[in-house]
Amino acid sequence: IKRRIVVGNVSKWITPEKRDSSLRKYTHKWMVYVTGPPHDLNITPFIRRVRFFLHQSYRPLDVVDVTEPPFQLTRFGWGEFPIRIQLIFVDNKNKPVDLIHNLKV
């Protein structure tokens, strides 16, 4: 059985005067997501967990597991980078699948 998924991201520029004092160097708030196509957004029947591998500058919090829908992750940042995304399936017969999404801000 083949299933379609959608991987993407959105971002918003934060004006300097609206930045939190502890986050001054971060120019954007971004969110990366894994979902189904518009006609069938629910992917929980076949996806158990999504693991996001962020840029090393996010260490020690650079690997994040999202175990419940919506399978999305929001962070603050200052640049673009490739995010490795690992899909872990409900059926253990299916091996995890890795893909790369280029985060755009």
At the fourth CATH level, which superfamily is domain 6-103?
YEATS domain (2.60.40.1970)
For the entire predicted model, the pTM comes to 0.93
Q: How much is the pLDDT for 1?
A: 80
The residue ranges of every structural domain in the chain are: 6-103
Q: Tokens 């520029």 — which residue?
A: 13
Q: How much is the pLDDT for 59?
A: 96
**Residues 76/28, Cβ–Cβ less than 8 Å:** yes
Place 43 in a pLDDT band, splitting at 50, 70 and 90: very high
**Residues 51/27, Cβ–Cβ less than 8 Å:** no
pLDDT digits (tens, 9 = 90+) for 51-70: 999 999 999 999 999 999 99
Report the pLDDT averaged over residues 21-26.
88
Return the minimum-mean-pLDDT range out of 17-21, 30-34, 73-77, 88-92: 17-21
